[in-house]
Structure 1
Amino acid sequence: MKVAIAGAGAVGRSIARELLRGGHRVMLLERELSHLDEEAIPDAIWVHADACELSLLEEAGMETYEVVIAATGDDKVNLVHSLLAKTEFGVSRVVARVNDPRNEWLFDSSWGVDVAVSTPRLLASLVEEAVSVGDLVRLMTLRQGQANLVEITLPNDTALAGKPVRSLRLPRDTALVTILRGGRVIVPQADDPFEGDDELLFVASVEAEEDLRVALADHGIRP
């Protein structure tokens, strides 16, 4: 997969290294000459360009990339770059970094963003996930805000303990995708029993999230 990353600061470089380890081809776009260091990541393609300049993006061959990541430290740049990637170059997947949580509402499909990643929100969700038992926690927004990855850790004395997965009646547009149990990752089958302290991961549409809370409450869990 070919991935273009706007911003070659600490965040952009870290993303590039991870993607290269996964066998992907990566291009780093950077406006500041001081951030250009091809020796730091020699396997990446380095391009000195303003991520908001259409002509420079054309020269870089942006239309040949399947994924674009707007990872600069400036939300305005990330929004403009996302919009250009989606509307001018038809990039199928655009991921944008949100630096200021107050700007998060802007990062949606109207600006070409498929997935917005807000570090403060992600950290807060992970803290909630780590300390909350019996609470439904939203971990991530998927597919242009149309669905969420949500998690709940069952109390040790849950009424679901020993009951099969099929006994949990889920609302429409909701799926139980995995059960984390100790060090195990379990793909849930209809006859698999729940246990106390299980961590359940669901994908649910925005509209179905409240219905999921109700379904869990019906089983004695008050998220």
Structure 2
Amino acid sequence: MFAIVAGGGKVGATVARTLLRRGHEVTLVEQRADRYERLEQEFEHQIQLGDATEMFVLERAGIARPAEIVIAVTGDDEDNLVIGQLSREKYEVERVIARVNDPRNQQLFDLLEIPQTVSATQMVLGLIEHEVPAHELIHLLELKKENLEIVEVEIEPGAPAAGKRVDELALEDARLISVLRDGKAEIAVGSTKLQAGDQVLAILEPGREDDLRRLLLKR
């Protein structure tokens, strides 16, 4: 997947960094020279200096290749709205995600038909991962106060858990919450029998994903 991320602040840099780590192609666009110079040391040729509300900047970033997704996460809602509109209307980018910094502007994004708007880094990544699954754990929600997180994973054919009941799994630091199969969700109980292709929600402590990977993904 080729993605353009507009905005090199904390959110944009984190999103770009994570997508690159997961094997996607990314161009990060940042208009502040000082921030660009700092990020260039890390992103090298994968970052460009410019204002992503300008068409020539988006074209230089590769939007006409075409980009499969544009993620507008600058600190300015007006810029994010313009970037989203240009991407959808001018370049017909299939998927656009825009950050809304001020909730009072949400109605404007809705009015101009920017369908996916978010206000946190993890939610951006979650939206992307749901459309571009990589047979990996998808981090949906972090419960900081409880030091827990909720993840989603699709059971792969040949995984140790395929064909087994939930109570047969050796899960010490994770609990399965629900199983989605053929569009129908059910609460995961001990007698629930898992199948390849099931989408499973689980709750666990951060950093304990390896147990789930071992059981739900093919070795």
- What TM-score range do you get, normalising by the shorter chain? 0.5 to 0.7
Q: How do 1:105-120 and structure 2 match up within 5 A?
A: 105-108=107-110, 110-119=111-120
- Report the equivalent of 1:71: 73
Distance apart, 1:39 and its partner CA: 1.3
Query: 1:101 is matched with which residue: 91, 100, 103?
Result: 103
Q: Write the deviation string for residues 149-191 of structure 1: whole angstroms up to 9, x where unpaired.
A: xxxxxxxxxxxxxxxxxxxxxxxxxxxxxxxxx6225424689
Q: Alignment partner of 2:85: what SS?
A: helix
Residue pair 1:80, 1:111 contacting (<8 A) in 2 also = no
- Indicate conservation of the 8 Å contact 2:30/2:51, yes or no: yes
Q: Within 5 Å, give how 1:80-159 maps onto structure 2.
A: 80-108=82-110, 110-119=111-120
SS in 2 for 1:113: coil
Show the counterpart of 2:26: 26
Alpha-carbon deviation of 1:41? 2.6
List runs of 5+ in structure 1 lacking aligned partners: 132-181, 202-223
How far 1:89 sits from its partner (Å)?
A: 0.8
Match for residue 192 of structure 2? none
Deviation sequence 1:48-95 (CA, Å, 0-9, x none): 111111222223321221000000000000000100011111100000
- Structure 1: distance between partners of 2:185 and 2:69: 39
* 1:156 corresponds to: none
Whole-angstrom CA distance in 1 between matches of 2:34 and 2:56: 22
Query: Which residue in the other structure is 2:59 paired with?
Result: 58
Residue 85 and residue 184 in structure 1: after superposition, are their counterparts in 2 closer, same or farther (change >3 A)? Answer: same
Residue-pair matches, total: 144
SS across alignment from 2:43: coil
Which consecutive unaligned segments of at least 5 residues does structure 2 have? 124-140, 147-173, 190-199, 202-219
Max radius of gyration: which structure? 1
Q: Which residue of 2 aligns with 1:40?
A: 42
Q: Give the 3-state SS of the residue equivalent to 2:93 in structure 1.
A: coil
* Residue 16 of structure 1: aligned partner: 16
What letter is aligned with 2:11? V
Contact 2:2 2:69 in 1 (8 A): yes
CA RMSD of aligned residues (A): 3.5
Secondary structure of the 1:62 match is coil
The amino acid across from 1:14 in the alignment is: T
